[in-house]
Structure formats: structure tokens, C-alpha cells
Amino acid sequence: MVSRLERNWQYAEQYPTETDAQVRARRLSLELGIEPVSRAVAAQLSGLAVMSGARAICEIGTGVGVSGLALLRHVPEATLTSIEIESEHLRQARAAFAGAGIAAARLRLIEGDAAQVLPRLNLGAYDLVLIDAEPERLLEYLEHALTIVRAGGTVVIPGAFSRGRVTDPAARDEATHVLRDLLATVAESAAIVPVLTPAGDGLLTLTRLDG
């Protein structure tokens, strides 16, 4: 029997509409075996970009452009710096952005390891940073992300429940441990405001405070 909370979650996941370009990118992502953010998470990314007045956005993990299209959907003046280690994924993402009519001048697509690219980005230069990466490297990426996001800006981490394992006491794998440690650490931090929502597989937003 489906509980009321499960029905609410299912409704929220099915509620958002997406552009044709987003639908195509999502379909391609699944065909290539890349797990994209859910529709509800994509909608929240679009909303966060608008609410934060984002003009400079950074994304770790381009995939084939599902998240990037969501981030840029309602902020026509914003630019996106997106880092992806797989050249074929980046090629497909470039085509997805072009198909959506997003000007190349708004995009900075970087092929490479985020751990090597992030230290070269300007400090405090971004309004919004998305980290869509393997859990084992989240802490490393988050440390860099909190230096490149401006005070008052937000770092977003989808997949915070690690396919539901974080909330399962029996789950003891490394990825789950990393996410539990991350959630515990940010909950106690005086430098950021953490918000965890059940959208998708868990969406964690961390807003950096002044100072």
C-alpha cells in the first residue's frame, strides 16, 4: 500500500513540465546509461537559479546537459561553466545546448577532472554551484565549491540519499558513509545554511553565509 507521503512525492516528481530540449537530453542520458537528475530536481534547479538571481553558474558533472538546461532555463542573462571528464558526454551536451538555442557565448564547457579544474576558477565568482558527481569525491569538490561561490550563493548537491541507502541503517558502503558524514558536517557548520529536501534522490542545498 502506497503511503500518503509516497503519493505526495510521486506527484511532485511528475508535476514539472520540461522543454523539448530537456526531454531530448533526458532521453539521451538514459540511453547512454547516465542517471540524470529527476524532473522535480531539475525544476528546483531552475527555481534556484531564478531566486538567487544567478548570473554566473558552475556545474561539476555536465552529463549530456540535463542539469545545465534546467539551470539556464529561466535566466537568459546567466552564463554556465560546466566541467565534465568524458569527452563524448561533453560533445552531446554541446549539441543539446545548441538545440535549445543557448548561445555559445553563455557556455564554458571544460573537459577535465574537476579536482584539477576547480582550483583554477576565480574565488567567490559564482552565484550557484551544482555538484553532480560520485559520492566518494563530494567532500573534495565541496571544499572547492565553497571557495568559488560568493557569500550568499548556494551549492547544490543532488543524490544526497544515495539511492535511499543513507536512510537505511543497514547500509554500510563507502558512498553511504561519505554522504552521512557530509550531512552531519554541514548540519553543524556555522558558515553555511543547509536544506535537505526529498526531491529526486534527495537534494541538498548549502547557502554560504557572509564571513
DSSP 151-199: EEEEEEEE-TTTTTTTT-TT---HHHHHHHHHHHHHHH-SSEEEEEE-S
Q: What is the pTM of this model?
A: 0.95
C-beta of residue 69 within 8 angstroms of C-beta of residue 97 = yes
Which DSSP symbol is given to 100? T
Residue 210 pLDDT: 82
pLDDT by residue for the chain (211 residues), tens digit each?
778 989 999 999 999 999 999 999 999 999 999 999 999 999 999 999 999 999 999 999 999 999 999 999 999 999 999 999 999 999 999 999 999 999 999 999 999 999 999 999 999 999 999 999 988 899 999 999 999 999 999 999 999 999 889 999 999 999 899 999 999 999 999 999 999 999 999 999 999 998 6
Q: pLDDT value at position 211?
A: 63
* Pairing, β 203-208 against β 149-158: antiparallel
Q: Looking at residue 86, what is its pLDDT?
A: 96
* Separation CA 168–CA 13 (nearest Å): 22
pLDDT tens sequence across 103-154? 999 999 999 999 999 999 999 999 999 999 988 899 999 999 999 999 999 9
How far apart, in whole angstroms, are the C-alpha atoms of residue 75 and residue 61?
Answer: 20
Structural domains of the chain in order of their starting residue, each with its CATH number: 4-208 (3.40.50.150)
**Predicted local distance difference test score (pLDDT) of residue 158:** 97
Predicted confidence at residue 12, as pLDDT, reads: 94
Do residues 151 and 211 touch, judged by C-beta distance below 8 A? Answer: yes
Signed CA dihedral, 21, 22, 27, 30: sign only? positive
Give me the pLDDT at residue 135, please: 87
> Of 13, 121, 150, 123, nearest to 60 (Cα)?
121
